[in-house]
Structure 1
Amino acid sequence: MALQLTVPNMACSACSDTIIKAIEAIDPSATVQADPKTKQVNVETQASEASVKQAIATAGYQIETAMETVTATPAEDRAEEDLSQDLAQ
């Protein structure tokens, strides 16, 4: 499972190392990238999202899940336009 998390109180490389070690403690095969400049932690893991978040929190850091952007398909756009036109009549 791929996760992208925002950790607002990750301030330095020592913080990112601590977060990486916390995640690797629950999944030694996890691939973790932590960037204190962007506050982003990218994780590829077999552990659950809840377990990863708990490991980061237990290490003393806050977690905000990154917002996902959902884009409508062209068919959904057309259906929405048709509905709007029907309602306007």
Structure 2
Amino acid sequence: MTKTVKLQDAKANLSQLIRKVEAGDTVIVTQHGKPAARLLPIAPEEEQPIRIAIEAFRNIPKGDDIEFERDRTPWGDIELDFD
């Protein structure tokens, strides 16, 4: 279900609106009679890639024993065509 509220009412009742959104509703917030924002529930699958990325960064080995070699091959001439 979609509910539309004025910005002033949304600020005064934010906790109540968040509970509605958590229950699956969508809330449209209007400012001067025009839609300005949409509050939507976060789907669990939307959170998953972020958690995977965070865990991947946490598991990167820390240490000075990692060596990187720079490729010093010249790039050559770059032609830019603006036609």
Q: Tell me if TM exceeds 0.5.
A: no
Alignment TM-score, normalising by the size of structure 1:
0.24
More RCO (CA 8 Å, sep 6+): 1
Q: Give the structure with the larger helix fraction.
A: 1
